[in-house]
Structure 1
């Protein structure tokens, strides 16, 4: 009998949570599955729960929430035999979209029952794991501001972008990609593992969590009136073919710049220690994940 652990980020409200638990009961009958449900209680709890699940021989840990919750839970599953499954209930749902996991709860649960697994790569930015992307440019500034605002979702994110754009000064970066050095001034400097930034925005449309590589996306300084075409090209998935994006691939990338303060990993901001340097590297086939056909 397969042990399944659902770890829920409790932000959905009691009514929705009750409907979710009823749906889990329908899809995972006790005769076939040993199901447990628990909830995130503190920062880092997801990683602790996942590590405990590995020790207890849990077959699949289901992350119920958004990219931040999924990232936290994934940290405890690296290089283990316990698989990660995703029930996407966040806003951007970057990894779920990259893996073509349905945003509909019942369809996502059917996928978990079907249990088709593949090993995906993860990235590390210094010591911080990322599944979708990590960045040190304008996106890192917005991520830092976003964590202090009550307005969530795409509209809250867009409002911060418009508010902060005119005062943002693109930085100059020294970049080492697998031993080759670049020097670039950039508005955005993002390293992608998957092709999704969230909300169907794609900075690296050809990136894959299965290819053993990271995709470096460099957006040169842009004008305010470029924001609309940049957004449209990102949604259409062809920004890598425009003048708005320089694209490189590699396995080990080091980025240095004076005054680097913040790093974003999967949309969450983390402060950088002194030194202004970030090393980004890929860890191939690090986590087994339940995927779509």
Structure 2
């Protein structure tokens, strides 16, 4: 028997991105609705079939949730979570997450299960906690942001996934192909703490996720704990060395490589130069967009108000599902 709806509990406004992950949309909806109906929790569920509409739906949903004192919940991968989080940032509206993606770094970092039923039940007893997010110009990122080679890796990986399916072996194979095809170096001018540095690198990667940094073998979690972001750059190197770096990253030993530069920071500006076009491709949480330079990476002054499970296991210790 379904429970009588609890009118005192905040209503869930759920956005489901049908394009995320392997799971059947109808099945996911059924699981979510079953858990909430049995718990007597009020909810609205919106399924977004066209990813291009996700931003508009997110902003409308946040506005409606704020008016009614509700909670916005997003069911999707890290890119979908990013889009909905952007809409909630600064609104004061709490955000719940039901991970549906391939890697689910954000959910795993915060102890949120990739099992939809378990994650939905966890929302019922979760508490709101402030979570650090990064900004590149005014665009939010929860896990990472990058320019140079890494956005190209993401674009090629997505093309491979469309053809061969979504799993880590496909992602690794696409990375090999990208390295063999592209050899461009960036000459970027960094401003950090008032000092300028000219650096040549194939890619700049900025991390905001302890689990991902640990998996790469970069022991920089103290930077995140000190309310900083982490910058990772590669020194110019040959093709074989780049392939070896890719292997090291897959094995979680990137931090031992001599060609890797990494450091924590609160604010970093990348200025335009004759080697860096005024508009560049930037990847944020797996989504690639064009942005104008200069690029300013910084910790957001507004935290994300995230619904976190009452009992949060250590990142990487929970069951993350078959597609993680």
TM-score bracket, shorter-length normalisation: 0.7 to 0.9
> 5+ unaligned residues in a row in structure 2: which ranges?
1-8, 313-324
Return the match for 2:197 from 154, 165, 182. Answer: 182
Structure whose residues are more often helix by fraction: 2
> 5+ unaligned residues in a row in structure 1: which ranges?
none
* Structural mapping, 1:1-293, within 5 Å: 1-11=9-19, 16-29=24-37, 32-40=40-48, 41=50, 42-146=53-157, 150-151=162-163, 153=166, 154-166=168-180, 167-197=182-212, 201=216, 206=221, 211-226=226-241, 229-231=244-246, 233-235=248-250, 237-256=252-271, 257=273, 258-260=275-277, 261-273=280-292, 276-292=293-309, 293=312
Alpha-carbon spacing, 1:226–1:53, altered in 2? closer, same or farther (3 Å): farther
Structure number with greater Rg is 2
The answer to whether the 8 A contact 2:224-2:230 is kept is no
Alpha-carbon spacing, 1:142–1:14, altered in 2? closer, same or farther (3 Å): closer
Q: How far 1:265 moved relative to its partner?
A: 1.0
Calculate the TM-score normalised by the size of structure 1: 0.85
The answer to whether the 8 A contact 1:101-1:108 is kept is yes
Alpha-carbon spacing, 1:70–1:225, altered in 2? closer, same or farther (3 Å): same
Alpha-carbon spacing, 1:15–1:279, altered in 2? closer, same or farther (3 Å): closer
The SS at the match of 1:76 is helix
* Segment of structure 1 superposing worse, 42-51 or 222-231: 222-231
What's the RMSD between the two structures over aligned residues? 3.1
**1:48-92 CA distances to partner (integer Å, 9 max, x unpaired)?**
234323433343222111111111111111123321121111122
**1:186-232 CA distances to partner (integer Å, 9 max, x unpaired)?**
12211112235599556675277664221111122344444565345
Calculate the TM-score normalised by the size of structure 2: 0.77
